[in-house]
Amino acid sequence: MTIVLGDNQYGKAETHVVRVTKSGGTHEIRDLTVTVALAGDFAETHLSGDNSKVVATDTQKNTVFAFARDPIGDIEDFGLRLARHFVGEFASVYRARVHIDEAAWSHIGVGGKPHDHAFVRAGSEKRMATVTCTDDGSWVVSGVGDLLVLKSTGSEFHGFLKDRFTTLAETEERILATSVVARWRHVDTQVEWARSHDDVRRLLLETFALKHSLSLQQTLYAMGEAVLRARPEVAEIRMSMLNKHHFAVDLSPFGMANENEVFYASDRPFGLIEGTVTRDDAPEPGFAW
């Protein structure tokens, strides 16, 4: 029997960097969580403990902070600068992957005007980017996470398989609520990142609102299709949608009717719907995912 080392990578996970940009007395906040993963000629550190080709994870952390000293710009560009640095600087690194989550902060309103340097976290939603670089190319995947959406009607669910364990009643009207994680791969790196991100997000939300849903799967596909039809820079989109179930409460024991107005919101267990929508002529993903 021969035992060999398989695929491996390592890096510094979740370096949390907050960048304050000052323009006179007015400040802006960027709040990033950065994860770096490197792959390369690292077999000997596993097999013999020889670390001569290893870029210490502490060095990776420090690099993130040092690069944040310059204007960050779009997180896709920040990720590209970091990943290209690791591949270009160290001969032992053949692939660098940088994943970034960005939390949004907005100025607190005081007397009808935004305060110069006081902020409030703008919900749970985060903007995401994953950048992968090798000597042969670069790949960018943008995304949005923890995007909570709900529609109080315009959703049905019926016609599903039933067996002796089925208790769920069919319905022609229900609340549809979900937490969306959407990640979309770009055709190349020549993209206006912020404009593209904002438009993809808008298309996802508008389609969720307007599509009369017979299933969350149907809604997922419609959202992805809308993005691909409108945004030629997107090669494919992958979505994970957590179905946040809402059940109409039986008020009959209290002599009351409930016309789909009072619901119990269940957080667990939940349905998890995942899918990919892609162009048939999309370029090969390379190391994007």
Domain boundary among 75, 105, 135: 135
Same domain, 123 and 223: no
> Do residues 69 and 131 share a domain?
yes
153 & 119 share domain: no
Q: How many domains, the chain?
A: 2
- 1 vs 4, 43, 47, 87, 215, CA distance in Å? 10, 19, 17, 35, 50
Domain boundary among 135, 170, 198: 135
DSSP letters spanning 239-289: EEEEE--EEE---GGGT---SS--EEEP-SS-EEEEEEEE-TTPPP-TT--
Beta strand 93-110 with 113-134 is antiparallel
Check residue 126 and give its pLDDT. Answer: 97
Q: Are 84 and 129 members of one domain?
A: yes
Task: Say if residues 188 and 246 touch (Cβ distance below 8 Å).
Answer: no
161 and 84 inside one domain: no
Residues 107 and 184 in one domain: no
95: containing domain: 1-135
**Residue 50 in this model has a pLDDT that exceeds 90:** yes
pLDDT of residue 140: 98
pLDDT in tens, 90-136: 999 999 999 999 999 999 999 999 999 999 998 899 999 999 999 99
Known catalytic membership, residue 57:
yes
Domain boundary (84, 104, 135) is at 135
Judgement on whether residues 181 and 65 belong to the same structural domain of the protein: no
> Is residue 245 flagged as an active site residue?
yes
- Both tokens of 197, joined, read 């991100």
- Among residues 151, 186, 244, 245, the one annotated as catalytic is 245
**Average pLDDT of the chain?**
97
List residues bridging with 151 in a β-sheet: 176
30 & 160 share domain: no
Q: What is the mean pLDDT of residues 178-201?
A: 98
Catalytic residue among 57, 189, 276, 278: 57
CA distance 114 to 271: 40
Query: Do 171 and 81 fall within a single domain?
Result: no
Q: Report the C-alpha gap between 243 and 167 in whole angstroms.
A: 18
Q: Exposed, middle or buried: residue 60 (CB in 10 Å: 0-12, 13-18, 19+)?
A: buried
Distance (Å, whole) CA 181 – CA 143: 7
Whether residues 12 and 72 fall in one domain: yes
CATH number of the domain to which 158 belongs? 3.10.270.10
Of the chain, the percentage scoring pLDDT greater than 90 comes to 98
pLDDT for 267 equals 85
Question: What pLDDT is recorded for position 122?
Answer: 87
Cα–Cα nearest to 129, from 175, 67, 191, 85: 191
Q: Are residues 150 and 94 in the same domain?
A: no
Question: Is residue 98 located within the same domain as residue 168?
Answer: no
Q: Per the residue annotation, which of 12, 99, 126, 211 is the catalytic one?
A: 12
